[in-house]
Every structure is written in structure tokens, then in C-alpha cells.
Chain A
């Protein structure tokens, strides 16, 4: 187990180094000039050149990468071109909004998605099952921006039950997390249903029923636990995606999260911010997937890493 962990951590470091190099190079080879984006459209070329020199972008790319790696080792991700502040601080300031939204959406996804999936599997072929299918098709096919705007118009403008946008408290979280959760909820519901149906056909379920276990124990303790393995994989990937920022949802709800930040940063060629966000989200992604792999062993004692 220990050597497995060490190996995985080693791989993680390699992955992150690869990500940093890739991001660094891609940002610098795509067309677009940071100084030109920072300065107004009519700034003279001399000002563009001077600003690029100030930003350290006149050095050869490998020199820039060396400087970057050395600074990152010290915990310094450089100065954001746009904000003129440390990139790490700019990104970390957005973390609370991103984490709140991701967690709320995840809780919704797990609770609603699994409930629909379990109900549809257990009551297969009934009205519940068909209703579940309709809901999941809707959830997966509605575009985020449309759903978000419709929710705003209904609950914000017409009914006035909830705030339309912004980031002030719990009530502000409801509409964006609903919007963001729609797709993964549908995904989880479908996966739960199919995975559970497969398990429910297994011999040991019949054995459980035969030995007189209550239906609740059969479903929740035996069937669902085994159905969790593929679900966990998908959930792990989803959490990673949600924490990386939900660009469209954040834009619609004027939510000050990392997704909108990084898109704006890409747009304006704010290299340090893009690098920081991508390295942080890659780290989160790698760590969460490692945790999920470890969780498999808890759910299924037959899984052993050595």
C-alpha cells in the first residue's frame, strides 16, 4: 500500500510538471500579445514593447520557464498582468466562491441523482422509472446558459423568491447550483440506475433476499454499495471539473469564481493567472482521483493496491 502511494505521488508530481510545461509553452506560442491586450487599442508600439519588457516577456522562453519554476518552488506564481497583484492571491480570492458552488452542486448531484437512480432501478418499468428517464434526458440536454437564464427569469424576476445573481449568502447559491448540478445529476441518475440494475440481477442479491434480509438492507447495504464503484469514478471526475470552475454558470450568475477568472485571463493573455489556475486545478484533480482510488478499497475490500 505504501509503495503504491509513493508511486502514485511520484506520478502526480510528474503529471503536474508536465501540465506546467505544457501550459507555459502553449500560452506563449498561441497568437496574442499580453501588453497589447493590457494597453488600450490605440497605444503606440513603443509602449507595447516597453510593457512587454516590464512583464519579462522579452526573454527567451526557456529562460522564462526557468524563472517560473524557481519562483513556483518558493510559492510565488508571479504577478497577474491584469490585476498587478500576486497571481496566487488573485486566484485564491476566488476560491471560496468556487468551492461553495462546487460543493453545493455536488451535494445536489449526489442526493438527487442517486435518489432518482435508485428509485428508477428498484421500480423499474413503472411510472417512477419513466419519470426519471424524462428528467435525466431533460437534465442532460438543457444548455446551461438557457436553464440559468430561465431560472433567473422565473424565480428572480417573476416570482421574486430568490436573488437573480451575485454572491452574498446562501440564498444566492440556490439558482447557480441548480443550474450547475443539472447535467451531473442526470448523469449520476442514469449511471446509478444502470449500475444498480446490473447488481440487482446478481446471485448474491438473490441470496440476500432468500436468507430473509429486508428489501431496504438488500438495496442500500449490498446492492448500492457495489454499484458505487463506477459512480465514484464519475463523481471524482465531476468534482474536479466543478472545482476547476464553471465558466458559463459563473458568467450568467455574475459569480466571482475561478472559471470566469481563468477565461478572462486566457482572453487577456494574463499568463501568470492562467498558469496558477491550471496548476491548482490539475493538483485538485490529481489529489481527488487518488482519494477516489483509495476509497475503492473501502467500498470493496477485494480491491487491494500493492
Chain B
């Protein structure tokens, strides 16, 4: 769906938002019965309160409650208004955002175009910020009155609105002393920041003047960081916390058997992808790559090792993203694989399969199963389970044949994945992929027009599906467990834990 056309739904949303700000002003929201406290247990520790300085999923989850971005993304991948009421491209390199009136920061200062100009220029200009590299294509950010902003870009930047779903808006006053500001930050979000004990918890309190009516639904939100899954699950089963993320398939039964606990799962926006080192003589030959792909029984991995908590892959990018095209499942055919190897003259093939230690559920078992499957067609697999930083160095140096990795699409847009892994510049120190056709299509797919993007991306996917520079074994499934006291909890496909519209009994 084009994000800028005024659909009936959007019209109603905008109308609702306008109504909501007037209701908030009269204090109706407070009367809607906000009560209780939700405590969430997240797997990954948060490292910063600066929305521009991380690509962490836990920080994205926590900070979404404190700061509002210009746009939000729904669980079915629609971009919807947050601090921007509408947005549209004026041409291929210009975006215009119309901003929400009546929103204010927790310190009382109003949200205006100045915030947007400040936030965008800050992330572009301060190369120390983790998100800075994404915004380098921004040329100019100009306000047009207090409630409209025009962003011009050096080249087409169709994924800008998607990226902006991950960038919380800051008050311009933050620039006066950033270190002090991020000790006790203010945003326009549904919760005010109260405290952060590093490595332990973040405490937030409801923003009674939030622009969206009836939100948040609780007085207090605490997020605890509990890296160990057994402990996270124990805290939930003991009733100490109300929601946990990143449940592994083998923990599901225990949780389901606990009274008062519900397990929710949803296909994630994450495709597992094991990439080949395409400069290596052995796997440079597409017949060898195809043989490897044909020899892997993906059903066994999904059913036996992941207990059904994964989905068969039908395209390099998961359903829901712009451009996704169903290309059918990859077949399992060891006979044909042997034949292809024979044609390629590879009778004594050994592959280095590099893993980043403990990063993905069941990865070592899966790699071992794959080694056994490839053994069936006479390919020896040398599994190298390396510490993450070391594995990445090995990849940069090109010391691998196959690299075990996954790609969670942050934001909800495939441009980053394509641009990083399938352009010469992006893949230079990674997979050594280079294909002028694909490169051209990626550049053409950067325009704002979703119809063009859909078409270009579909074409890229067909080429990749055929060339198999990567093995796509399965789409991940995101599993959460919650207390049955929670209402309106949504198991997100992007692994975010968003609680501002969740209530507690």
C-alpha cells in the first residue's frame, strides 16, 4: 500500500488523532482507568538511552516507550502516523512530513518542526552515533512553519520512512548538553523516564498528557534485563514479571504447562541465511552451491530441531516486506546434488562452516545436522564455532566457505539487506558478491514509489533465488510468554516488546 495516499483508514486515523489530542487536553484519558504496573523481562541488556546510538532490539523496545518516532510500523508492516500525521515524496529525492500538533515533551515544551530538524541533523552529522551511517544520504532538512518538514536526499531514499520508525524525536534543547540530557532524558512518548540501573532495570511512569487517548493503560512500566532464558522463564513462572521475549522452542512446553502463563508465537521478520564466500574457488561455481542447497533437508531442521518453530523459506526476504515474492520452497534432492557435484568435478569437497558462538537458537545442532546431510553427498563439513568478534574477523578476511547468520529486518524494509549484501561496495569484505544486474536493480529500487520498488525487488529475489549466493534454511519464529493477566499484548514479528497499549488485570 502506498504510504502517502490518503486512504479511508488513514483519514480516520488522522481524525482520531486530532480528536485524541483535544481529549487529552481535557483530561479524559486519565478517566479511562489507567492502573497497575507491568514488568517485562528482556533478554538483551540495554546500553544507551540515546535513540540514535544503537541498533539493539531491546533498546528499541524500551526507548519506544519514552520517545515517539515520526512513524510507527504495525505488526502487519504498515507505516502509520506517530509524530508525523502524514508524509509523501515530492519527488525521488524529497520527502515532506506534516507533523502532529499538540504533542509535547515530558518537560512541557511543545513538539515542533525544530525537534525533527535537530534530531535528523544530529544523527547525520555526529559520526560517533551508531545510526549515523544510515542517514548519510540526507542532504538538507528544512522546516516549513512549525508543523512541516522537508527532507532532501543526495540520492533516492525510499526506505527513509521505514528507518524513521526507529528514530525517537528529541527536543532541540538536548543539544545544549547531551551528556546531562541523556542522564534524565525527555521524549514525547507514552511513558516518562524515571531511572535506569545499568544491567538491571529501567523504570518508567505513565505520561498522563500523552497525545493518544487511553494510552498508556498502566501507571508504571518496569523493564528488567535477564539475559539467561531459564531465569527469565523462572521469573515469569514465579509471577514476578509479566512478559518475556526470545523463548526457545525447547522451553515452550514447560511454559505452556505453567498455570497463568500463555505462550504466543508469530513468524518473525527474520530469515536465516548462510552465506557463501563467493571468491573461494570451491563455491564460486553455482553448481556446487546448488548441490549444497539440494542436499539440505530443511524440513528436518524445522520439524525435528526447531520443533516446528520456524517456517519454510519461499523467498530471500520474509513475507510482509515490500517486494516479497513467493518463489516456492527449495527442493531436497540429494541425488541431483550428487550429480551436480560430479558435473562440477568436485569429488572431494571440504567446506568451512563458520558459526558465531551461541548467537542463534540450536545453531550448533543445526550445523551438525547439515554436516551429516552434506556428508550424504560426499561433502565434508568442517564446523568452526567461533566467538562472535573472531568469527566476524574471519569473515572479513574471507576465511570461510559458508557462514551461519540470520537477518532480522530492522527496519521493516529490505533495502538495507540488499544494499549491504548484494552490492559490490557492501559485500566487499563480507561475501564478495558482485553482480552488476543486481546492483542496478537495488539502485533503481531505492525510489519512493512502492510499485517500482515491488517490481525491482521481485526481480532481485528471482536472480538470487536462482544463483543461490546464500542458503536460506528457514524463516525464524518469534516466541514470547506472557502472564494471563495482560490484555491486548501483541507478539511482534520484529521482536519488539511494546507495552503502551497493554493493560493488566
Q: Which residues does A use to contact B, with CB under 8 Å?
A: 30-33, 36-47, 50-51, 54, 82-85, 90, 93-94, 97, 149, 152-153, 156-157, 160, 163-167, 251-254, 256-257, 260-261, 264, 267-269
Q: Which of A40, A42, A254 lies in contact with B231, CB distance below 8 A?
A: A254
Q: Which of A83, A152, A254, A269 lies in contact with B227, CB distance below 8 A?
A: A254
Knowing A32-B390, A83-B47 are in contact, say whether A43-B197 is a contact too (CB < 8 A): no
Q: Which of B53, B387, B389, B420 lies in contact with A44, CB distance below 8 A?
A: B420
Once the chains bind, are A44 and B421 in contact (CB under 8 Å)?
no
Once the chains bind, are B50 and A165 in contact (CB under 8 Å)?
no
Chain B hits for A85, CB < 8 A: 179
Q: List 10 A-B contacts (CB under 8 A).
A: A37-B389, A40-B130, A44-B425, A54-B128, A83-B198, A149-B230, A149-B231, A166-B240, A167-B200, A254-B226
Q: Which of B238, B389, B405, B410 lies in contact with A31, CB distance below 8 A?
A: B389
User: What would 7 more interface pairs be, CB under 8 Å, given A33-B396, A156-B234?
Assistant: A38-B130, A42-B417, A44-B133, A47-B133, A51-B128, A166-B224, A260-B227
Knowing A46-B133, A164-B238, A165-B235 are in contact, say whether A90-B198 is a contact too (CB < 8 A): yes
Q: Which of B53, B200, B421 lies in contact with A166, CB distance below 8 A?
A: B200
Once the chains bind, are B133 and A39 in contact (CB under 8 Å)?
yes
A39 CA / B129 CA spacing, docked (Å): 9
Knowing A42-B417, A83-B47 are in contact, say whether A251-B228 is a contact too (CB < 8 A): yes
Once the chains bind, are B389 and A36 in contact (CB under 8 Å)?
yes
Chain B hits for A51, CB < 8 A: 127-128
Q: Which of B50, B239, B416 lies in contact with A84, CB distance below 8 A?
A: B50
A30 CA / B198 CA spacing, docked (Å): 27
Q: Mark B178-200, 1 if CB is under 8 A from A, else 0.
A: 01000000000000000001111
Chain A hits for B393, CB < 8 A: 31-33, 36
Closest to A53 in B: B127
B25, chain A: closest CB distance, angstroms: 37
Once the chains bind, are B230 and A47 in contact (CB under 8 Å)?
no
Question: Which residues of chain B in 35-81 are interfacial with respect to chain A, using CB atoms and an 8 Å cutoff?
Answer: 45, 47-48, 50, 53, 55
Closest to A42 in B: B420
Once the chains bind, are B234 and A152 in contact (CB under 8 Å)?
yes
Knowing A45-B428, A84-B48, A252-B231 are in contact, say whether A40-B55 is a contact too (CB < 8 A): yes
Q: Which of B132, B225, B231, B405 lies in contact with A47, CB distance below 8 A?
A: B132
Chain B hits for A83, CB < 8 A: 47-48, 198
Query: In this assembly, does B201 line the interface, its C-beta being within 8 Å of a C-beta of chain A?
Result: yes
Knowing A33-B392, A254-B224 are in contact, say whether A167-B197 is a contact too (CB < 8 A): yes
Chain B hits for A152, CB < 8 A: 230-231, 234
Closest to B392 in A: A36
B196, chain A: closest CB distance, angstroms: 10
Closest to B226 in A: A254
Knowing A164-B240, A260-B199 are in contact, say whether A254-B387 is a contact too (CB < 8 A): no
Q: What are the 7 tightest A-B residue pairs by CB atom distance, in nearest-first order? A: A32-B389, A256-B199, A47-B133, A42-B420, A40-B55, A256-B200, A31-B393
A33 CA / B390 CA spacing, docked (Å): 9
Q: Which of A43, A156, A261 lies in contact with B199, CB distance below 8 A?
A: A261
Chain A hits for B226, CB < 8 A: 165-166, 254
A28, chain B: closest CB distance, angstroms: 13
Question: Which residues of chain B in 121-149 are interfacial with respect to chain A, using CB atoms and an 8 Å cutoff?
Answer: 127-128, 130, 132-133
Query: In this assembly, does B237 line the interface, its C-beta being within 8 Å of a C-beta of chain A?
Result: yes
A194 CA / B226 CA spacing, docked (Å): 41
Chain A hits for B235, CB < 8 A: 156, 164-166
Once the chains bind, are B231 and A267 in contact (CB under 8 Å)?
no
A38 CA / B129 CA spacing, docked (Å): 10
Closest to B421 in A: A42
Once the chains bind, are B387 and A267 in contact (CB under 8 Å)?
yes
Closest to B416 in A: A42
Once the chains bind, are B199 and A164 in contact (CB under 8 Å)?
no
A18 CA / B55 CA spacing, docked (Å): 37
Query: In this assembly, does B102 line the interface, its C-beta being within 8 Å of a C-beta of chain A?
Result: no
Chain A hits for B389, CB < 8 A: 31-33, 36-37, 267-269
Chain B hits for A97, CB < 8 A: 200
Q: Which of B47, B225, B234, B405 lies in contact with A82, CB distance below 8 A?
A: B47
A273, chain B: closest CB distance, angstroms: 11
Chain B hits for A36, CB < 8 A: 389, 392-393, 396
Query: In this assembly, does B426 line the interface, its C-beta being within 8 Å of a C-beta of chain A?
Result: yes
Query: In this assembly, does B388 line the interface, its C-beta being within 8 Å of a C-beta of chain A?
Result: yes
Chain B hits for A160, CB < 8 A: 238-239
Chain A hits for B200, CB < 8 A: 97, 166-167, 254, 256
Chain A hits for B405, CB < 8 A: 41
Chain B hits for A156, CB < 8 A: 234-235, 238, 240
Once the chains bind, are A39 and B420 in contact (CB under 8 Å)?
no
Chain A hits for B420, CB < 8 A: 42-44
Query: In this assembly, does B429 line the interface, its C-beta being within 8 Å of a C-beta of chain A?
Result: yes
Chain A hits for B231, CB < 8 A: 149, 152, 164-165, 252-254
Q: Mark B210-231, 1 if CB is under 8 A from A, else 0.
A: 0000000000000011111011
A267 CA / B387 CA spacing, docked (Å): 8
A49, chain B: closest CB distance, angstroms: 10
Once the chains bind, are A93 and B224 in contact (CB under 8 Å)?
no
Chain A hits for B238, CB < 8 A: 156-157, 160, 163-164
Chain A hits for B234, CB < 8 A: 149, 152-153, 156-157, 164-165
Once the chains bind, are A50 and B127 in contact (CB under 8 Å)?
yes
A163 CA / B224 CA spacing, docked (Å): 13
Chain B hits for A32, CB < 8 A: 387, 389-390, 392-393
B202, chain A: closest CB distance, angstroms: 12
Chain A hits for B237, CB < 8 A: 157
Chain A hits for B428, CB < 8 A: 45
Closest to A159 in B: B238
Closest to A93 in B: B198
Once the chains bind, are B198 and A94 in contact (CB under 8 Å)?
yes
Knowing A31-B389, A42-B420, A83-B47 are in contact, say whether A251-B198 is a contact too (CB < 8 A): no
Closest to A54 in B: B128
A31 CA / B389 CA spacing, docked (Å): 7
Knowing A84-B48, A94-B198, A163-B240 are in contact, say whether A31-B390 is a contact too (CB < 8 A): yes
A6, chain B: closest CB distance, angstroms: 39
Once the chains bind, are A256 and B133 in contact (CB under 8 Å)?
no
Knowing A31-B389, A84-B50, A167-B197 are in contact, say whether A39-B130 is a contact too (CB < 8 A): yes
Chain B hits for A251, CB < 8 A: 227-228
Question: Which residues of chain B in 91-128 are interfacial with respect to chain A, using CB atoms and an 8 Å cutoff?
Answer: 127-128
A50 CA / B124 CA spacing, docked (Å): 13
Closest to A257 in B: B199
